[in-house]
Chain A
Amino acid sequence: MRLSPSPRGPLLKPGAVGWAKRRRRVPTTSDRGGHGASRLSPPYGPLLAGMASVVSCLLISTLLAAEIPQNERRSGTAFMSRDTQAMQEDDRANPGMLAVLDGEALWNQAPAGAKACAGCHGDASSSMKGVAARYPAFAEARGRPIDLEQRINLCRTEHQHAPPLAWEARELLALTAYVANQSRGMPITAGMDERTRPFVEAGRSLYNRRQGQLDLSCAQCHDDNWGKRLAGSVIPQAHPTGYPEYRLEWQSIGSLQRRLRSCTFGVRAEQLPYGAPEQVDLELYLMWRARGMPLETPAVRP
């Protein structure tokens, strides 16, 4: 992994033209040996060529800022130390597996006066295969996408007549981890449904929007500076391939929404409340951005 020297000034200079060019050099019209406008006689030719190259730089850099090339995408696992990777790889050592175990017990436990999850869905290892990989998914009942936690609570309230589980409650994390674990190894397919398209785009805008006192967008760190270091930690690409995940910092398992809220806090922006539609839109965009990558739940992260 490349180490970059600690920046002496701000990590990124807002507004600087071509700051996204850091990763690859964008060819400009002048590189291509003076086609088109530069063939005009001076001063118009070179001037127009110059302007065109600046505009194309801006356009290309905006486009480049939008996505990491598919073949350069890496899960957060690739950015961790060997020891943390080993923690994730061994199911007997992965602390996230405790939540999966918990979830298995809850799956088979009937709430008062209703069926257990198993009562309708049977054996999760077959019925839940592939489910987490396509979440957040469009919910007819809500007219918009919902994430897996919301889906579980929807089942609880509508079909089990039980109160919804609180965000980040042990039981909700356990059930979500258990269900998501059934899709481990399967490629992420979220955001492929046409009905989710406008919400994916909404999520994309949020991802690219600068926010907070530090005035940073998700894209600036995770699209343009992944692999570099921020205060001793390597910046990952932010693919939510292993949620709910066991984060060493939290000393417990936690959801993607929790992670997004802590990122927001990190740039000193106002945190979105749990379950906010914008939060789910962002979740959806991130999962769509990670499409095709295998699910790893429960992941271990530093």
Chain B
Amino acid sequence: MGERGPTESSTRRHFLAAAGAVALAPIFVRPARATPDTMAAAIREVVGEAPVREGKITLELPPLVENGNAVPMTVTVDSPMTAAEHVKRIHVFNEKNPQPNIATFHLGPRAGKAKISTRVRLADSQKVIAIAELSDGSFWSANADMIVTLAACLEESP
């Protein structure tokens, strides 16, 4: 084997340290997750500096969710849906999924009724917020506090 010079051993040490850091790195990297801050940022992107008032929009979600994989959700906005006064868009956000956005629905006077149903995924117990953007430029919001229970028996691949 023979003696190893100082540069060789320090290089090896650096390499080992770097390799060790790389090997350890995944343990310290947390999966991306929305937080109340990222949700607020996502809302701001849509709303800008305009005020968001509570009202006009109703968000229906089951209070206790059996399985977070498919949660039925209905958003309804009280609006005549005429050319003069209608809902332009409905945006839905969440707090704790990896991303803050759930969906954006584009409506207009041809909708007749501002009522949309779908099923959403909720990764954890969290807040869901729906914001309606009206034709007059105003924003209205409703929110729901969800409790998501996990399935009792964890299962592996089929």
Verify whether A and B have any Cβ pair under 8 Å. Answer: yes
Query: Residues of A at under 8 Å CB distance from B?
Result: 80-84, 86-87, 95, 168, 230-233, 235, 248-251, 254, 258, 261-263, 265-267, 302
A250 to B153, CA, bound (A): 12
List chain A residues, Cβ under 8 A from B27.
none
Could you list 27 examples of A-B contacts with CB < 8 Å?
Answer: A81-B62, A81-B64, A82-B62, A83-B62, A83-B72, A87-B70, A168-B158, A230-B152, A230-B153, A231-B152, A232-B149, A232-B152, A248-B67, A248-B69, A248-B70, A249-B69, A249-B151, A250-B158, A251-B70, A262-B155, A265-B153, A265-B156, A266-B153, A266-B155, A267-B153, A302-B66, A302-B67
Given contacts A80-B66, A81-B66, A84-B66, contact A233 B151 (CB under 8 A): yes
Bound state CA distance, A168 and B158, in angstroms? 8
Chain B residues closer than 8 Å to A265, beta-carbon distance: 153-156
Contact B158 A249, beta carbon cutoff 8 Å: no
Q: Chain A: which residue is nearest B64 at the CB level?
A: A81
B interface residue numbers (CB < 8 A to A) = 62, 64, 66-67, 69-72, 149-156, 158
Q: How far is the CB of B75 from chain A (nearest CB, A)?
A: 15
Q: Is the CB of A233 within 8 A of B158?
A: no
Q: Are A254 and B72 in contact (CB under 8 A)?
A: no
Q: For residue B154, which residues in chain A have a CB less than 8 angstroms away from its CB?
A: 265-266
Determine if A251 and B150 form an interchain contact, defined as CB atoms under 8 angstroms apart. no
Q: Which of B69, B149, B155 contacts A233 (CB 8 A)?
A: B149
Interface centre among A87, A249, A251 (most CB of B within 10 A): A249
Query: A248-B70, A249-B151, A302-B151 known; 14 other A-B pairs, CB under 8 Å?
Result: A81-B66, A82-B62, A230-B152, A231-B149, A232-B150, A233-B149, A249-B67, A249-B69, A250-B158, A262-B158, A265-B154, A265-B155, A265-B156, A266-B154
Across chains A and B, which 4 residue pairs bring their CB atoms closest together, nearest first? A266-B153, A232-B149, A262-B155, A302-B66
A residues in contact with B67, CB < 8 Å: 248-249, 302
Interface-centre pick from A83, A95, A254 (highest chain B CB count, 10 A): A83
- Give CA–CA (A184, B66) in the complex, Å: 25
Chain B nearest CB: distance from A249 CB in Å? 5
